[in-house]
Chains A and B, each alone.
Chain A
Amino acid sequence: MKTRKRPWARALTEIIWFSWLPVAAFVLIWIFSGMSTSFYLPSAQVVLEQTWQVWFVEGGIAENLVPSLIRLVAGFALAVALGVGFGVLLGLVRPLESAVRPLTDAARTIPGAALLPIAIMFFGLGDAMKIAMIAFISMWPILLNTIEGVRSIDPTLRSVMATFRITRRDRFQHVFLPQAMPQVFAGARIGLAISIAVMVVVEMFGTPGGIGYFIRHAQQTFRVVDMWTGLVILGIFGYLLNILFRILERRVLHWYHAMIAQAQGASA
């Protein structure tokens, strides 16, 4: 193979394989949306120019993106804290988990959007309602995964801990939490996607401010191009958040990935 001698050529073909579809899609969207005469499907060029104008020049980021981000972080952090806290408790105390299972089943299977009017009844249309909704709906995958993670602990390890009389706090901090971590992160990744979706929905109903409100309001006042700019910003926002989450996961679960790699290497 020629490419083996030239690593840069190989890297180049990799890059081409990874990028040809996104580039082609972008070019096609650019061309076809430019030819579009529909009022609802404006040309990509107009949308991008307007995005720059609305979100960067006129300060849309500070007005609508930052409040969304703060809400999302608050709600998601709350969801992680509640999910991991209750998850560890229910995972360790099996009878308790089985006793409250009807309630947790009902709470996690109910389509969360149905709870929105009830949340508005108690918390109003402000930030309290939005954060409560984000936290409540996105905590379930984290909770369930934490339960599974805590339970997956090796029984031998339990006996070892009992033998050495390891204190409750040390068990939690040094054994149960790290053991459950990979599962917790898998749940948190699902939870993050859900919290972004819930954020958008509750903002569409809540008080002004926020990217969901911006998109909904633009649609209701038939500012179609503005609505598209909101979608563009939301796409970038969601993607960047995901990348950030992945970096965090890689750092925290470094030991776990290393362990898996080693186990695979040993068996191969």
Chain B
Amino acid sequence: MIQDVQTRPVGALRPARGRVRIERPRPRRDARELLIQTGVVVLAVIVWYLFTLTPLAQNARMPGPVQTIVRFGELAVTEPFWVAIGATVLAWALALLLSIVVGIPVGLAIGRSKRAQDSTHFAIDFLRTIPALALVPLLLLLMGPSLGMVVSAAFLTAVWPVLIQSIYAGRLADPALHQMARSFRLSRWDRVRYVLTPDALAFIWPGLRLAVTASLLSTVAAQLIGAAPGIGSAILLAQLSDRTDSLFAYVLAACFLGLMINALLMWAQRKVLWWHPSMRDRTK
């Protein structure tokens, strides 16, 4: 283990023109792994097809993979499909943005003070255990099946992990790091950019990751419960009108959306947290 670190440094700090420049390690793709993974996906699709031949699936009128993909292609050229996707992405993004804008500053501020932590401890502990999706009926009464209702429900789910991790970031900020930055006479910008932000981000990131998936789950669920425009209500409509092929096509779309958001998250994580010990193993 130690040898590995010595022969191949993960990232080296190099002073260049007064500004710190950082060399990033590049992830290596394994072609064989990719091949096996493709094989497993193909296998899963074949199993899906075989399953649709069983009486159980026939009774439920479950569509096969070909039927689903054909229907997905048909829907993909229609406007309502993209309107539904757009509404879901918009609500998700707004909820996430709102929980970042609220959660991080409030969390950091609470984390800096012991008294603030004590005071808010019970309130945060209690409020975060209430599943926000239970509030959808109430939000429906107040706002109707609108974008605001969906965003509120998703925000109330996503803000807690961000807030709690930000409290940790504020509380556990390493004072030695700050002293070191000051004794090296880093400029204010460099101190924020290279010391304070990475330190806080390493704490906040896990909360952010949770918030990303939780707000997507809540967005779709709120649309499903409240029949607000989006993928959730499109799925509901397909079910009510007994179009199982549309239903599966929309679920497939939700699946792709989830995968794309996850890929985006992983990309951002590599960009932002490549220096963190937990990431080094993966980028080797």
Contact = CB atoms under 8 A, between A and B. Distances in A.
Interface stretch (A49-57, A112-120, A162-170, A247-255): A112-120
Contacts of A219: 137-138, 140-141
B217 A113 contact: yes
B interface majority secondary structure: helix
A143 interface: no
Contact of B118 (A18, A190, A193, A204): A18
Contact of A102 (B40, B126, B219): B40
B104 interface: no
B122 A21 contact: yes
Q: Indicate the size class of the contact surface on chain A.
A: 35 or more
Contacts of A129: none
Contacts of A102: 37, 40-41
A231 B135 contact: yes
Interface in B145-195: 157
Contacts of B213: 108-109
A238 B262 contact: no
A201 B221 contact: yes
A114 B141 contact: no
A83 interface: no
B119 A18 contact: yes
A242 B141 CA distance: 29
Contacts of A239: 125-126, 129
B119 A112 contact: no
A125 interface: no
Given A112-B217, A114-B231, A114-B232, A231 B262 contact: no
Nearest to A197: B131
B141 to A, nearest CB: 5
Given A101-B37, A215-B137, A117 B221 contact: no
A121 B60 contact: yes
Nearest to A40: B141
B106 interface: no
B120 interface: yes
B67 interface: no
B123 interface: yes
Nearest to B253: A114
Given A25-B123, A99-B37, A121 B62 contact: yes
B200 interface: no
A196 interface: yes
Contact of B122 (A19, A109, A121, A211): A19
A17 to B, nearest CB: 4
Contacts of B125: 239, 242
Q: Which 7 A-B pairs have the closest CB atoms?
A: A109-B258, A219-B137, A113-B221, A197-B131, A111-B220, A238-B129, A114-B254
